[in-house]
Amino acid sequence: MQRPGRPRDRLVDAMADPTIHLATENGLLVADMTGKVLARHLDGAEIHAVLVSDGWAFAAPEGRGVLRVKLPLDAASDWEPLGLEDQRVWTLAATGGAGRALAGLEPAALCEVGGDGGPSRFVGLESVEGHEDWHSPWGPADLCAVCVDGDRMVVGVEVGGVAVSEDAGKTWEARNHGLYEDVHCLALLGNTWAATTGMGFHITTDAGLTWSWEMEGVDRGYTQGLAVVGSSADTLVMSSASGPPPMWESGGPEAALFRLHTPQTPYLWDLVCDGFRGNVDRGGIASAGDLVVAGTSEGELLLSRDAGWEFDLVAEGMPPIIAVALAVTV
């Protein structure tokens, strides 16, 4: 899985005993850096999303809404239901408040869970220009990406593009000029935002007012997972496949991981990892400084300690991995 000859970032040894939380088709696994499974939770449940934030872990099992538990996880940990049992939850994101999380739903909507009084739905998305055209290949659109930066909230919709609030969710507007609106994942670096879509990677340097398509160095166009990496948190690792699952042929997804060579123009991607069997889905990459992990639909766990320049296959034979999160002690 290593690709020699690539430039390498300086390794940063600022983390102690990180653990990897894996949302799979058969429960939530907690693994160490060697891929050894330390604990199993929610056996038998398909977990659509996982989040680690401010000393809490959150999970979204099919049909059970959102659950949370205080870290560290062990065999005796008791998961607390936070509501949304009648909703399909596609993604979970931090709110900046301990014990709370944001949930992206299908049909596309945004809720906060973990606060007093049960789930709280953000209003205003229905007024976003183009909302009446939001959809997905299977019917209703899903809100599958959420980023928060102070009072700014940015959400991605499959299929509907990006909606932005600059006032903590009170009002919303679409910012899709130049963006392919089948959005899979988002990342924010100040006013530079990145989006993976069903038609490649897009980037904006003016907070979403104009987007450009940037795929130099990427040889497969169905971009999915995305993570900000590096000790300076200024570049990206992305997963991409040959196409959406219905188009995969006998060779499978032919997925690979790419690293943005430089965060400035001209944007150029380096192929940093391929040859694994599975697909790395939209929630399948997580990072903390120079540590990057990715999980695949074939139960493979990939790990990089140098901000995504080289990856090792550290585990195989896990259930299909849908999403990953890192619990880091500094």
What would the two tokens of residue 28 be? 């939530």
Confidence of residue 146 (pLDDT cuts 50, 70, 90): very high
φ and ψ of 201, to 5 deg: -85, 140
Which pLDDT does position 222 carry in this prediction? 98
pTM for the predicted model, two decimal places: 0.93
CA distances from 68 to 48, 62, 121, 151, 187 (A): 14, 14, 18, 24, 24
Query: pLDDT digit string (tens) for 13-50?
Result: 444 679 999 999 999 999 999 999 999 999 999 999 99
Task: State the Cα–Cα distance between residues 163 and 321, nearest whole angstrom.
Answer: 28
CA distances from 283 to 92, 120, 227, 267 (A): 10, 23, 9, 23
pLDDT > 50? residue 297: yes
Nearest to 165 by CA among 178, 149, 176: 149
φ and ψ of 156, to 5 deg: -115, 140
Which pLDDT does position 11 carry in this prediction? 40
Query: pLDDT digit string (tens) for 150-208?
Result: 999 999 999 999 999 999 999 999 999 999 999 999 999 999 999 999 999 999 999 99
* Residue with the two structure tokens 């399909």: 88
User: Mean pLDDT in the chain?
Assistant: 92
Whether the upstream peptide bond of residue 137 has omega within 30° of 0, thus cis, is no
Which pLDDT does position 238 carry in this prediction? 98
CA distances from 89 to 8, 23, 65, 164, 286 (A): 37, 13, 7, 20, 19
Task: State the Cα–Cα distance between residues 104 and 156, nearest whole angstrom.
Answer: 9
How many DSSP H helices and E strands does the chain contain? 0, 28
Distance linking the first and last C-alpha atoms of the chain? 28
Average pLDDT over residues 98-115: 96
Task: State the Cα–Cα distance between residues 203 and 200, nearest whole angstrom.
Answer: 10
55 close to 12: Cβ distance less than 8 angstroms: no
Task: State the Cα–Cα distance between residues 185 and 158, nearest whole angstrom.
Answer: 10
